[in-house]
């Protein structure tokens, strides 16, 4: 039986999987997500990145590929297994089998062995370790494509240095950092990150607001709950 998408909330193509549950654990990028990712790449003519890092999750890999289709010049692309998202203890987890040609901070077998066994604190430490080891060329733009929980872990470590999310905040994470949101950070001379809106207006205009505008107040939120 051939696959045919019925609307833009479905992926344009799907690869063979062993079980239907595999699509729930590691879903592909939707048609509309692919369209907006490519449009975002086209809009980056004045903010062309030097390198793109993506997590090993299928939708993020496909997002990186679509960004590259839109960017008008050659850009380095690395899949970093260590950027995989957080899976609570005991949860069903995907098993990644992506083939990598370059050295990475963490290896695929290691990530497959820890997913679903990490505490939130261990997950945050993993992301902090991986991001601190990635190469960010000075004076150049670098893109990280990852899940909302990974972006928040980066913010926790490199911007806020605050406490972890409360249960209330964690429940709203995906609405506060939407699936196609784009955030711009500058790295200061002392290695600290800070949020910047320098490149965002032109880029975010390529996507629907509900999918692209992050809640900045949430990202730089105080340590206590609200």
pLDDT tens per residue, range 200-219: 655 666 666 667 778 877 77
CB 63 within 8 A of CB 33: yes
- Residue where the block lists tokens 């370790």: 129
Amino acid 225: pLDDT: 46
In a domain, 22, yes or no: no
In a domain, 19, yes or no: no
In a domain, 143, yes or no: yes
Tell me the residue range of the domain where 163 lies. Answer: 32-219
Instruction: Report residue 127's pLDDT band, with 50, 70 and 90 as the boundaries.
Output: very high
Sheet (strand 141-145) strand order: 76-79, 49-54, 141-145
Helix 58-70 and helix 31-42, axial crossing angle in degrees, nearest 10:
40
Highest mean pLDDT among 77-81, 188-192, 198-202: 77-81
Look up the CATH number of the domain holding residue 127. 3.40.50.1240
Residue 71 has pLDDT above 80, yes or no: yes
Residue 37's nearest CA partner among 28, 47, 29 is 29
Instruction: Report residue 226's pLDDT band, with 50, 70 and 90 as the boundaries.
Output: very low
CB 174 within 8 A of CB 165: no
Lowest mean pLDDT among 10-24, 103-117, 123-137, 176-190: 10-24
In a domain, 51, yes or no: yes
In a domain, 95, yes or no: yes
In a domain, 187, yes or no: yes
Instruction: Report residue 187's pLDDT band, with 50, 70 and 90 as the boundaries.
Output: confident
């Amino acid at each position: 039986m051939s696959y045919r998408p019925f609307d833009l909330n479905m992926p344009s193509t799907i690869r063979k999987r062993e079980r239907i549950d595999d699509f729930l654990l590691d879903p592909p990028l939707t048609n509309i997500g692919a369209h907006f990712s490519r449009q975002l790449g086209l809009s980056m003519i004045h903010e062309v990145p030097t390198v793109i890092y993506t997590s090993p999750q299928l939708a993020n890999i496909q997002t990186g590929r679509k960004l590259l289709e839109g960017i008008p010049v050659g850009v380095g692309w690395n899949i970093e297994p260590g950027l995989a998202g957080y899976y609570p203890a005991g949860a069903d987890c995907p098993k990644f089998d992506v083939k990598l040609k370059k050295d990475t901070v963490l290896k695929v077998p290691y990530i497959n062995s820890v997913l679903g066994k990490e505490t939130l604190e261990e997950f945050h430490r993993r992301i902090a370790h991986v991001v601190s080891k990635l190469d960010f060329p000075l004076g150049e733009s670098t893109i990280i494509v990852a899940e909302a929980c990974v972006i928040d872990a980066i913010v926790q470590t490199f911007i806020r240095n605050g406490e972890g999310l409360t249960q209330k905040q964690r429940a709203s994470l995906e609405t506060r950092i939407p699936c196609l949101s784009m955030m711009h950070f500058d790295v200061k001379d002392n290695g600290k990150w800070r949020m910047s809106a320098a490149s965002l207006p032109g880029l975010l205009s390529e996507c629907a607001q509900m999918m692209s505008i992050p809640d900045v107040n949430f990202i730089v939120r105080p340590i206590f709950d609200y």
